[in-house]
Each structure stands twice: as structure tokens, then as C-alpha cells.
């Protein structure tokens, strides 16, 4: 499995092992080949604002953006497990910190949420329509709950 993490910020609280762990967890739960590639970049608000304007035509920084590559879809427990380049996820830790404070949880938990959200977008999920929103956010909640349980039993 290739999980590339780039941190171009001064957010010392970003834990690369945790980021790799949740990414690998989601890849497994979505039944993707363990050799899939995904890149995760942590950027500052200026860089995120540039990307947000360039790709979404919206000003200001956002929390997470996803850039799919091979249009991979989730596999199934029976197989086959799709292999390829899932794509890139870009997160802004300072935005995540503010959102975590507003939500009343740790910034690391917000990054977990944003990573899962970004990965679901890479897998073709969206939340523009009410039914898409329900499906994506139900799956996001299930994956986050599974990750929390996994972390409690993992050494």
C-alpha cells in the first residue's frame, strides 16, 4: 500500500502514523487492493485558498478537497479488489482545528473525519442531493465508528 503524506504546515499535532492508519483502514473496509496509492497533503490556509478558488471557484480556505485519479469504485468482500491510484486528498489543519473546537472534539478527530470524507469523494461519493448526502454521511459515520473501535483494540 502506498500512502504518501506531505505536511507543508507547522501543525505539530498532525500524526503521520494515525493518518496512515485511518487511510489503510478505509482502503480495507472499502475493499480496495492493498497496493492502491493515495496521497495526502496538509497545506496552510493560503495554499488551500488558492486550490479552492482554482478548482471550486470559491474564495477562502476550505477544510478538505479531493482529486480522484483512476475513478476507483469500492470493491466487495468477495473480490476483486480494485487496484490503482485512488487520488489526492488535501487538508487544511488550521481550518480543521477551528471546526474541531466548534464541534467540541479533538483536532485529530476532525482530521479523521475529513480524511474519511475525502476518501469517500475519491471513491465517487457525493452529497449534493439529499439521497447522496444520506448514503455518504451514513457510510462516513460507520467508517469512523469502525475506526474508533479498531483503535481501542489495536495495540
Q: What is the pLDDT of residues 4-55, one digit of tens each?
A: 999 999 899 999 999 999 999 999 999 998 889 999 999 999 999 999 999 9
Distance of alpha carbon 83 from alpha carbon 149, whole angstroms? 27
Q: Give the rounded percent of residues in the chain with a pLDDT score beyond 90.
A: 83
Q: What is the pLDDT of residues 87-97, one digit of tens each?
A: 999 999 999 99
Of residues 96, 100, 90, the one with CA closest to residue 51: 90
Question: Tell me, which fold does domain 2-153 have in CATH?
Answer: Collagenase (Catalytic Domain) (3.40.390)
66 contact partners, CB below 8 Å, separation of at least 6: 87, 88, 89, 90, 118, 119, 121, 122
Q: Where are the domains of the chain?
A: 2-153
Q: Give the rounded percent of residues in the chain with a pLDDT score beyond 70.
A: 98
Q: Is 147 left (phi over 0), alpha (psi -120 to 50) or beta?
A: alpha
What value does the mean pLDDT of the chain take? Answer: 94
Q: Taking residues 120-124, what's their average pLDDT?
A: 95
Amino acid at each position: 500500500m502506498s500512502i504518501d503524506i506531505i505536511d507543508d504546515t507547522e501543525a505539530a499535532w498532525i500524526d503521520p502514523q494515525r493518518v496512515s492508519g485511518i487511510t489503510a483502514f478505509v482502503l480495507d473496509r472499502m475493499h480496495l487492493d492493498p497496493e492502491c496509492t493515495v496521497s495526502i497533503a496538509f497545506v496552510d490556509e493560503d495554499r488551500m485558498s488558492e486550490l479552492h478558488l482554482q478548482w471550486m471557484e470559491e474564495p477562502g480556505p476550505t477544510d478538505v478537497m479531493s482529486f480522484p485519479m483512476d475513478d476507483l469504485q469500492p470493491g466487495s468482500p468477495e473480490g476483486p479488489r480494485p487496484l490503482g491510484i485512488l487520488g489526492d486528498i488535501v487538508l487544511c489543519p488550521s481550518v480543521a482545528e477551528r471546526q474541531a473546537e466548534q464541534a467540541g472534539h479533538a483536532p485529530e478527530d476532525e482530521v479523521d473525519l475529513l480524511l474519511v470524507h475525502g476518501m469517500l469523494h475519491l471513491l465517487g461519493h457525493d452529497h449534493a442531493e439529499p439521497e447522496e448526502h444520506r448514503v455518504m454521511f451514513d457510510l462516513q459515520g460507520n467508517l469512523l465508528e469502525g475506526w474508533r473501535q479498531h483503535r481501542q483494540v489495536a495495540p
